[in-house]
Amino acid sequence: MPGKRKLQKVPQALYSELSEYSSLLRALSTNDSFDFARRLTEPGPSAKRRKATQESQEEGRENEDTLNTDEEGSQLEAPPRKRRRQIIEDSPAPETSPAPPGIEEDADVPEGNSQPQPREEKPRGRVRKRDTWTRWPLLVKDLRVPEWGLQDEIGALVRQCLRNNPHSSDEDEDGVSSEDVASADAPSWLPHLTQSASGFLSSLFALLAHHTPARPQSMQDRLNPLDWKMVLDIVASCGDVDSTVINNVKTRMEAIYGPHDSPAIARLEVRAATKARAAATFDEADDALFLSTRPRKRQPKRVLEEMDSDDLDDS
């Protein structure tokens, strides 16, 4: 009965090093995917380069799967032909005896070495080929902690806006510059502004996550990725963004991707005008509730004069 040969386990130190290397590659790939500025300005990679990148990623995933199998200590049984070759290789054979027919000789075994080198066996089963994918939800070890947080980014943006759009104030008249005022008041307004921006981004990402784009009728549920046009329409539909912001973003995106006619800005303007008219109507109604009205003069009551019966008879 042929015996089962165990695969050689990878040492723990080497396995940890390879795992950290795989995590580093995934983190670099994730950071490269999140670099939107470069993807918007640079053209996409060629088909040849994309194919080479995909093959290298698939090879790395196959190596990682093999390492995981070795770490768990799973035993893989060789196919019958390989098992037969293994039995013949392990059994001592005389030097004058020729190799059995139908069995290939190992060219890697050097002369004078009675013990042949073990062949590297690949895991059984069909290797699933996957396209370029990103593990979701992302693991903590696959994320690199950014050097600057959201509060630092918002603080830098606010200071830049204050420098570009200075406003005259009482402090400026006293000889204090706007930069000194902004730096002095930074601990007071920055946390509140960061919290407001974080809440807005959370609601925006929730809207994008729950939005199902329009798709053609098909037996398969195929969803196309969201483009910048859909994002603008979704943001405009939520009603939390001003039409000026949408118009600025649309102008910048059209400079890169070309003009696009979107009814989002017109809808926002109509909504703003409707809200203004409704607010004016409600204000008039509220003011009418608190107006004091003078009571009208009461009309004197009409009294019927009493007439004697003699007068009635005479008439």
* Token pair listed for 314: 């005479």
Write down the pLDDT at residue 188: 81
Question: How do the domains of the chain map onto residue ranges?
Answer: 1-91+127-141, 146-210, 225-289
Whole-angstrom Cα distance, residue 68 to residue 66? 5
* 31 to 28, 41, 212, 225: CA distances (angstroms): 5, 17, 26, 19
Positive or negative, the Cα torsion across 85, 88, 93, 96? Answer: negative
Give yes or no for residue 81 having a pLDDT over 60: no
| Alpha-carbon radius of gyration of the chain | 40
Q: Which amino acid is at 132?
A: T
What is the residue type of 159? R
So what's the pLDDT on residue 99? 47
Report which listed range, 138-152, 202-216, 288-302, is most confident.
202-216
Q: What is d(CA 61, CA 59) in angstroms, rounded to the nearest whole number? A: 5
- Tens of pLDDT, residue by residue over 26-36, are 878 777 777 66
- Cβ atoms of residues 181 and 171 within 8 Å: yes
- Compare 241 and 215 and report the one with higher pLDDT: 241
Question: What local confidence, expressed as pLDDT, does residue 104 receive?
Answer: 46
Mean per-residue pLDDT, 186-211:
85
Q: Mention every residue, 6+ apart, whose C-beta is less than 8 A from residue 121.
A: 7, 76, 78, 82
In this structure, how many other beta carbons lie within 10 angstroms of the beta carbon of residue 4?
Answer: 10
How far apart are the C-alpha atoms of 282 and 276, rounded to whole Å? 10
pLDDT above 60 for 178: no
pTM of the model: 0.43
Statement: residue 235 has pLDDT above 70: yes
pLDDT beyond 50 at 307: yes
CA–CA distance, 131 with 51 (Å, rounded to integer): 10
Distance CA 116, CA 76 (A): 20
Summarised one tens digit per residue, pLDDT across range 238-266 is 777 888 888 888 899 899 888 888 888 88
d(CA 55, CA 49): 10
Distances (CA, A) of 39 to 33, 45, 53, 77, 253: 8, 10, 17, 47, 13
The crossing angle, in degrees rounded to 10, of helices 264-289 and 228-238 is 10
